[in-house]
Amino acid sequence: MPHFNLSVIAANLPQIGAGFITTLGMWLASVLLGAVIGLVAALLQQIGGRGARAVIRVYIELFRGTPFLVQLFLLYYGGPSFGLTLTPVMAGVVSLALYGGAYFAEVFRGGFASVPRGHVEAAACLGLSRWQVICRIQLPQMLALILPALSNLTIVLSKETAVLSVVTVPELTFVLTGIGSATFAYVQTLLVLCVCYLALVELATYAGNWAETRVSRFLA
Amino acid sequence: MIKTRDVIDPPAAKAHSAAPADVRAQPLIEVKGLFKRFGHTDILRGIDLSIAKSEVVCIIGPSGSGKSTLLRCIAGLETYDHGDVRIESELLGYVDRGGRRTRASTSELNRVRRNVGMVFQQFNLWPHMTVIGNVREALLRVRGMPNDKATAQAGRMLDMVGLSGKADAYPSKLSGGQQQRVAIARALAMEPHIMLFDEPTSALDPELVGEVLQVMKQLARDGMTMAVVTHEMGFAAQMADTVAFIDQGRIAVSGSPQHVFRRSENPRLKQFLQNYLDRNAFWSSDAREA
């Protein structure tokens, strides 16, 4: 294979490493922020008034109903015309968190719905406050049920970080496609890119499985 | 074949007799003109019921008659449209101010029902907590008890229902009867003045019913005030001071077990009881009359 050698990769290893770190950071930040957004949205749907519920519904429909690429463009390129100028990294994290948050909200909503009403009523009869019921009864119980969905969503979002390359976030895809076009080593760089994402996903899968076995001890 | 559970206890074993008249004057629970509608259906249509200290009231009736809804109103789990539910003379669920009635806040609701314990048909134990964790949870979070004290008190409750050996098990590892006994211990841990039971044995396999009824009988003998929605006519005949037959949202017949089971001429009640007579299920009500 005369054209296939990995010296290009070896020569740019520090850059690729930095890209990997950036991807990891963007991913973790947007997953954490997105999970918080989703949880708050699901809680508001639970206990909020009619107005709050309608706002949350519209948010979920909008962000699930439009492509992430378009949302990112709108925030990054459209933001300045509303006085909102963000760095590529900021725009990337915020848009990915908002996008993921809409899905997280649905996962949490399903989780709340899965906890039998009687478990909440039993807690209420014993005098636990609304907040205590959420934190002590509903959240821990639904966590075991929604963990597979949470880890699945986390995996999906890890690959969505690739989209952030279009607004010049120096993450893996941006770095490796850059190296590819500069050296014409397209195949090598794309293969390495795949390997990097596979590694990330494996990591997430492993963490998810670990959490699942830990949390679901009391089931079955 | 007679079901053994109905003849285990000699009826004379019940320690307290019907509460004397002067105690009845200040009921623990007082329901007056209770009216409740779900959508276009009237579930409760003017219920009057008062429960005195140490009184055991069994509520019977066909399914859909409103007996569970009545109990859930007393527990503060349902709103109601008209009438009063008073617990130790405090209005439950609403605040009357200058002739206007508004919904009470959750904390006000919890304050009024703090002395009410509830046991559900489906047990409703929290599966992510161990047995002892279930029983001590409210002691820790509501009473603010330190962990060692709460654990000790929860342990005493488990002892009372004969399950101290299961303290560290998760509910899913227990039989239905054991789960219901844990649920009773959980409610008792908060030292309620009255215990409400909503069909506590209806979700159990027949051979597990007895162990739960035993615990309830012991509670009644110890003087606990109880309101029990049940299909266990044997339990009602042996343990109740008052049996209330609810039909179509009203208390159609109410009185002593002898009166309700033997003397009432109410055709709906007779028809309802005929199902049980056919199954030979409340045999021991004979013995109580002696």
- What does the pLDDT look like over A86-114, one tens digit per residue? 899 999 999 999 999 999 999 999 999 99
Distances (CA, A) of B50 to A170, A171, B20, B31, B263: 74, 72, 14, 6, 22
Q: What are the residue ranges of helices labelled H in chain B?
A: 21-24, 67-74, 106-112, 131-141, 147-160, 176-188, 206-221, 233-239, 257-258, 267-278, 285-289
Domains of chain A: 7-218 (1.10.3720.10)
ipTM of the complex: 0.85
- Higher pLDDT: B155 or B276? It is B155
Q: Do B110 and A132 touch (CB under 8 A)?
A: no
- pLDDT band at residue B280, thresholds of 50, 70 and 90? low
**B269 min Cα distance to partner chain A (Å):** 30
Predicted pLDDT of residue B99: 81
Q: What value does the mean pLDDT take over residues A18-36? A: 93
In chain A, which residue's Cα lies nearest the Cα of B171? A218
Distances (CA, A) of A74 to A29, A78, A86, A105, A156: 20, 5, 12, 22, 21
Put the strands of the sheet holding B225-229 in their side by side order: B116-119, B194-198, B225-229, B56-60, B242-247, B250-255
Residue B7: burial class (beta carbons within 10 Å; 0-12, 13-18, 19+): middle
- What does the pLDDT look like over B150-160, one tens digit per residue? 999 999 999 99
Strands B82-87 and B29-38: antiparallel
Our measurement of the distance from residue B216's CA atom to the centroid of its chain's CA atoms, rounded to an integer in Å, reads 9
Structurally, how many domains does chain B consist of?
A: 1
Q: Which of residues 178-217 of B touch A (CB under 8 A)?
A: 183, 186-187, 190
- Residue B39 belongs to a domain: no
How many CB atoms within 10 Å of residue B128? 23
Number of H helices, E strands in chain A: 10, 0
Best mutation site among A126, A128, A141 for testing chain B: the one with the most B CBs within 10 Å?
A126
How many residues can be counted in chain B? 290
- Residue B206 belongs to a domain: yes
Q: Which residues of B touch A123 (CB under 8 A)?
A: 126, 137-138
- What does the pLDDT look like over B168-177, one tens digit per residue? 999 999 999 9
On the question of pLDDT at B281 being above 70, the answer is: no
- Paired with B228 in beta bridges are B58, B197
- Paired with B4 in beta bridges are none
In chain B, which residue's Cα lies nearest the Cα of A115? B126
Predicted pLDDT of residue B272: 92
Are the CB atoms for B196 and B118 separated by under 8 Å? yes
- Count how many Cα atoms sit within 13 Å of the Cα of residue B71 in the half-sphere of its side chain: 28
For residue B171 the two structure tokens come to 């509910």
* Model-wide pTM > 0.80: yes
- pLDDT band at residue B267, thresholds of 50, 70 and 90? very high
DSSP A86: -
- Residue B152 belongs to a domain: yes
On the question of pLDDT at B126 being above 80, the answer is: yes
- pLDDT band at residue B276, thresholds of 50, 70 and 90? confident
- Paired with B254 in beta bridges are B244
- pLDDT band at residue A179, thresholds of 50, 70 and 90? confident
On the question of pLDDT at A139 being above 60, the answer is: yes
Q: What value does the mean pLDDT take over residues B23-27? A: 65
In chain B, which residue's Cα lies nearest the Cα of A135? B141
- Higher pLDDT: B21 or B189? It is B189
In chain B, which residue's Cα lies nearest the Cα of A138? B126
Predicted pLDDT of residue B237: 93
Predicted pLDDT of residue A48: 80
- Residue B271 belongs to a domain: yes
- Residue B238 belongs to a domain: yes
Q: Do A128 and B124 touch (CB under 8 A)?
A: no
**A30 min Cα distance to partner chain B (Å):** 29
Distance, first Cα to last Cα, chain A: 54
Q: Which of A119, A132, A218 sits opposite B141 (nearest CB)?
A: A132
How many CB atoms within 10 Å of residue B263? 10
Q: Which of B75, B141, B186 sits opposite A136 (nearest CB)?
A: B141
SS3 state at B101: strand
On the question of pLDDT at B270 being above 80, the answer is: yes
Boundaries of domain holding B136: 4-14+52-80+115-289
- Residue B214 belongs to a domain: yes
Q: What value does the mean pLDDT take over residues A135-145? A: 89
In chain B, which residue's Cα lies nearest the Cα of A121? B77
Question: Percentage of chain B with pLDDT > 90?
Answer: 77
Ramachandran assignment for B73, one of left (phi > 0), alpha (psi -120 to 50 degrees), beta (any other): alpha
- pLDDT band at residue A85, thresholds of 50, 70 and 90? confident
Predicted pLDDT of residue A184: 85
- Residue B87 belongs to a domain: no
Predicted pLDDT of residue B78: 93
Best mutation site among B141, B153, B202 for testing chain A: the one with the most A CBs within 10 Å?
B141
- pLDDT band at residue B275, thresholds of 50, 70 and 90? confident
SS3 state at B98: coil
- pLDDT band at residue A128, thresholds of 50, 70 and 90? very high
Predicted pLDDT of residue B24: 47
Q: What is the CATH number of the domain that holds B226?
A: 3.40.50.300
Q: Which residues of B touch A138 (CB under 8 A)?
A: none
On the question of pLDDT at B7 being above 50, the answer is: no
Predicted pLDDT of residue B12: 41
Question: Any residues with CB less than 8 A from the CB of B112 and at least 6 apart, and which?
Answer: B76, B87, B90, B91, B92, B93, B104
Q: Which of A121, A125, A144 sits opposite B128 (nearest CB)?
A: A144
Best mutation site among B79, B126, B134 for testing chain A: the one with the most A CBs within 10 Å?
B126
- Residue B67 belongs to a domain: yes
Residue A137 CA to residue A131 CA, distance in Å, equals 10
Predicted pLDDT of residue A213: 84
Residue A76 CA to residue A90 CA, distance in Å, equals 9
Q: Do B118 and A125 touch (CB under 8 A)?
A: yes
On the question of pLDDT at A10 being above 90, the answer is: no
SS3 state at A119: helix
Residue B28 CA to residue A179 CA, distance in Å, equals 81
**A125 min Cα distance to partner chain B (Å):** 7
